[in-house]
Structure 1
Amino acid sequence: MTGLLKRLVIGRAMRSEELQETLLPKRLALPIFASDPLSSVAYATQEILLVLSLGGMAYLHFTPWIAATVVLLLAVVVLSYRQVVSAYPSGGGSYEVASTNLGPSAGLVVAASLLVDYVMTVAVSVASGVDNIISAVPELADQRVLMAVGFVVVLTAMNLRGVRESGRAFATPTYLFVGGVLIMIATGLFRYVVGDAPVAESAKYGIAAEPGDAHLAGLALVMLVLRAFSQGCTALTGVESISNGVPAFRKPKPKNAATTMAVMGAISITMFIGVTALALISKVRITEDSCRLTGLDGSCESYTQRTVIAQIAASVFGGEHSIGFYFIQAATALILILAANTAFNGFPLLTSILAQHRYLPRQLHNRGDRLAFSNGILALAIVAGLLLWGFQANVTQLIHLYILGVFTSFTLSQTGMVRHWNRELRTEHDPVLRRRHKTARAINGTGAVFTGLVLLVVLATKFTQGAWLAVLAASVLYVMMRGIRRHYDATATELAVTDPRDELVPPSRVFAIVLVSTIHKPTLRALSYARAFRPDHLEALTVSVDRDEATALRGRWQEYGIEVPLKIIDSPYREVTRPVVDYVRSIRRESPRDVVAVFIPEYVVGHWWENLLHNQSALWLKSRLLFTPGVMVTSVPWQLTSSAHADRPAGRAPGSVRRGEPPNSDQRPDRPVGSRRP
Structure 2
Amino acid sequence: MGVGDVSKRILLGRKLRSSQLGETLLPKRIALPVFASDALSSVAYAPDEVFIMLSLAGASAYVWSWKIAIAVALVMAAVIASYRQTVHAYPSGGGDYEVATVNLGRRAGATVASALIVDYVLTVAVSISSGSQYAAAAIPVLQHHEATVGAVLVVVLTALNLRGIRESGTLFAIPTYAFMVAILGMCAFGFLQMAAGNLPDVESADLVIKPDSEYDGALTTIGLLFLLARAFSSGCAALTGVEAISNGVPAFRRPKSQNAATTLLLLGMIAVSMMVSVIILARQMGLRYVDPHDLDRLTRNGEALPGDYDQHAVIAQIARAVFHDFQPGFYLVVSVTGVILVLAANTAFNGFPVLGSILARDGFAPRALDSRGDRLAYSNGILFLAALAIVLIIAFDAETTRLIQLYIVGVFVSFNLSQLGMIRHWTRKLVTERDPAARRKMVRSRVINAVGLTFTAVVLVVVLITKFLAGAWITILAMIFFYVIMNGIKSHYDNVNRELAADENDKALPTRVHAIVLVSKLHKPTLRALAFAKASRPNVLEGVYVSTDDAATNKLLEEWDERRMDVPLKVLHSPYRELVRPIVEYATEIRRANPRGVVAVYIPEYVVGRWWEQLLHNQTALRLKGRLLFTPGVMVTSVPYQLRSSQIARDREERDDARVRPGDLRRGRVAERDDRQIPR
TM-score by length of 1: 0.92
Cα gap change, 1:549 to 1:210, in 2 (>3 Å): farther
Displacement of 1:435: 2.2
Counterpart position of 2:331:
326
1:484 to 473, 483, 489: 489
1:546 matches 2:549: yes
The separation in 2 between residues aligned to 1:649 and 1:293, in whole angstroms, is: 68
The separation in 2 between residues aligned to 1:211 and 1:34, in whole angstroms, is: 39
1:340 matches 2:345: yes
Counterpart position of 2:365:
360
Aligned residues: 650
Counterpart position of 1:253:
256
Provide Cα deviations, 1:278-337, integer angstroms capped at 9, x if missing partner: 221222222222233223988754333222111221111118x92112211221122111
Displacement of 1:352: 0.6
**SS in structure 1 of the partner of residue 464 of structure 2:** helix
Report if the CA contact (8 A) 2:121-2:389 is conserved: yes
Unaligned runs of 5+ in 1: 654-678
Unaligned runs of 5+ in 2: 657-680
Cα gap change, 1:327 to 1:587, in 2 (>3 Å): same
Range with greater deviation from structure 2 (281-290 or 384-393) = 281-290
Counterpart position of 1:61:
63
2:163 to 154, 161, 164: 161
Cα gap change, 1:614 to 1:203, in 2 (>3 Å): farther
1:570 matches 2:573: yes
1:73 matches 2:79: no
Provide Cα deviations, 1:25-82, integer angstroms capped at 9, x if missing partner: 1111111111111111111101111222233324222211211110110000000100
Report matched runs for 1:617-636 at 5 Å. 617-636=620-639
Counterpart position of 1:43:
45
Counterpart position of 2:89:
87
1:412 matches 2:417: yes
The separation in 2 between residues aligned to 1:124 and 1:555, in whole angstroms, is: 73
Report if the CA contact (8 A) 1:132-1:307 is conserved: no
2:313 to 307, 318, 328: 307
Q: Which amino acid aligns with 2:65?
A: T
Q: Which amino acid aligns with 2:309?
A: Y
Report matched runs for 1:583-622 at 5 Å. 583-614=586-617, 616-622=619-625
Provide Cα deviations, 1:543-597, integer angstroms capped at 9, x if missing partner: 2222222222222332333332221111222222221111110000001111111
Counterpart position of 1:273:
276
Counterpart position of 2:123:
121
Report if the CA contact (8 A) 2:605-2:618 is conserved: no
Provide Cα deviations, 1:379-420, integer angstroms capped at 9, x if missing partner: 111111111111111111111111111101100111111111
The separation in 2 between residues aligned to 1:615 and 1:365, in whole angstroms, is: 32
Displacement of 1:429: 2.8
Cα gap change, 1:640 to 1:144, in 2 (>3 Å): farther
Displacement of 1:428: 2.4
The separation in 2 between residues aligned to 1:300 and 1:603, in whole angstroms, is: 73
**SS in structure 1 of the partner of residue 599 of structure 2:** strand
**SS in structure 1 of the partner of residue 405 of structure 2:** helix
1:472 matches 2:477: yes
Counterpart position of 2:527:
524
Report if the CA contact (8 A) 1:132-1:310 is conserved: no
Displacement of 1:539: 1.4
1:133 to 132, 135, 146: 135
Counterpart position of 2:664:
none
1:507 matches 2:513: no
Range with greater deviation from structure 2 (172-181 or 551-560) = 551-560
Report if the CA contact (8 A) 2:50-2:231 is conserved: yes
Range with greater deviation from structure 2 (293-302 or 424-433) = 293-302
**SS in structure 2 of the partner of residue 466 of structure 1:** helix
1:371 matches 2:376: yes
Report if the CA contact (8 A) 2:296-2:304 is conserved: no
1:193 matches 2:195: yes
Counterpart position of 1:316:
322
The separation in 1 between residues aligned to 2:370 and 2:334, in whole angstroms, is: 38
**SS in structure 1 of the partner of residue 398 of structure 2:** coil
**SS in structure 2 of the partner of residue 30 of structure 1:** helix
The separation in 1 between residues aligned to 2:155 and 2:638, in whole angstroms, is: 38
**SS in structure 2 of the partner of residue 569 of structure 1:** strand
Report matched runs for 1:662-677 at 5 Å. none
Cα gap change, 1:4 to 1:213, in 2 (>3 Å): same
Displacement of 1:484: 1.4
The separation in 1 between residues aligned to 2:634 and 2:156, in whole angstroms, is: 47
1:383 to 388, 398, 409: 388
Q: Which amino acid aligns with 2:318?
A: I
Report if the CA contact (8 A) 1:514-1:600 is conserved: yes
**SS in structure 2 of the partner of residue 159 of structure 1:** helix
- Percent identity between the aligned chains? 53
Range with greater deviation from structure 2 (358-367 or 191-200) = 191-200
The separation in 1 between residues aligned to 2:215 and 2:556, in whole angstroms, is: 87
Provide Cα deviations, 1:90-139, integer angstroms capped at 9, x if missing partner: 11111111111111111111111011101111111111122233344445
Counterpart position of 2:458:
453
Q: Which amino acid aligns with 1:63?
A: S
Counterpart position of 2:559:
556
The separation in 2 between residues aligned to 1:505 and 1:147, in whole angstroms, is: 62
TM-score by length of 2: 0.91
Counterpart position of 2:296:
291
Counterpart position of 2:674:
none
Report the aligned-residue RMSD: 2.2
Report if the CA contact (8 A) 2:298-2:304 is conserved: no
**SS in structure 1 of the partner of residue 410 of structure 2:** helix
The separation in 2 between residues aligned to 1:118 and 1:521, in whole angstroms, is: 56
Report if the CA contact (8 A) 1:19-1:371 is conserved: yes
Report if the CA contact (8 A) 1:348-1:376 is conserved: yes
Displacement of 1:146: 2.0
The separation in 1 between residues aligned to 2:187 and 2:480, in whole angstroms, is: 42
Q: Which amino acid aligns with 2:8?
A: K
Report if the CA contact (8 A) 1:202-1:283 is conserved: yes
Report if the CA contact (8 A) 1:48-1:231 is conserved: yes
The separation in 1 between residues aligned to 2:67 and 2:12, in whole angstroms, is: 47
Range with greater deviation from structure 2 (601-610 or 61-70) = 601-610
Cα gap change, 1:434 to 1:583, in 2 (>3 Å): same
**SS in structure 1 of the partner of residue 214 of structure 2:** coil
1:282 to 279, 282, 285: 285
The separation in 2 between residues aligned to 1:145 and 1:475, in whole angstroms, is: 27
**SS in structure 2 of the partner of residue 59 of structure 1:** helix
1:14 matches 2:11: no
Displacement of 1:651: 8.9
The separation in 1 between residues aligned to 2:313 and 2:374, in whole angstroms, is: 40
Cα gap change, 1:511 to 1:396, in 2 (>3 Å): same
Q: Which amino acid aligns with 2:640?
A: P
